[in-house]
Chains A and B, each alone.
Chain A
Amino acid sequence: MRRDLLPYTLSRIVLSLALGGFFYLSGSSVWSAMLIAGVLIALFLWAPNSGRYSVHPEYGITALRRDERTQVINDQAARNAFVVVMLLSGAALIYCGAIGIASDALVYLKIILLAGVGVYYISDLALRRTQ
C-alpha cells in the first residue's frame, strides 16, 4: 500500500465498511455484509494499480482521477448504453402495446436496465482494448 495514498485508502475502507453496515441493517446476513465490504475494500485497493485512473496523491481522498482517454472511453460506453436502453425501451413499449399487457412492465424495465449496465461495461472493456 502506498503511504502517500493513506487518505484515499482510509476513506475507502470507511466507505466500504459503511456500505457493509448498510447491507447488514437492511436485512443481509453478517457474513454477506462482511463479504460485500471485503470485496469493496479489495476493489478500492486495486483501483490505483489498475491503470484505469491517474493517481494524484496531492488531492487526498479524491486521489484517483479519470484522464482524458478514460473520459473519452467512458463517454462512448455511456452513449452505447443509452442507445441500447432507448431501443429496448421502444421495443418493449411496442411489444406490451401489441399484446395488451402492462403488468410485466417492471420486469422488462429491470431487464432493460441490466442490459444497459452490461452494454456499458462491455463497451468500456472493448474500447480499452482498441483505443
Chain B
Amino acid sequence: MTQADLADKVGVTRQTIIAIEKEKFVPSAKLALEITRALETKFDQVFWLE
C-alpha cells in the first residue's frame, strides 16, 4: 500500500502520513486507530512509545 492509498483510506493528506512516518506529527488516537485498521495490523506494530 502506498502512502497516497493509506492517506485516501483514512481521509488525510499524504503529507500527514509522511509526517507521522517521520515522527514529526503525533496523530490523535482516532487517526492512529484508523491507520491501524487500514493497514490491517496490530496497534503496537505501527505505534509505540519511545
Contact = CB atoms under 8 A, between A and B. Distances in A.
A54 B25 contact: no
Interface residues of A, number: 14
Contacts of B14: 51
A104 interface: no
A69 interface: yes
A130 interface: yes
Nearest to A130: B24
For chain B, give the interface size range.
10 to 19
B31 interface: yes
Contacts of B7: 54
Interface of B: 7, 11-16, 19, 24-25, 27-28, 31
Interface of A: 51-54, 56, 65, 67-70, 72, 128, 130-131
16 contacts: A51-B13, A51-B14, A51-B15, A52-B13, A54-B12, A54-B13, A54-B16, A56-B11, A67-B13, A68-B16, A68-B27, A68-B31, A69-B12, A69-B13, A70-B16, A131-B25
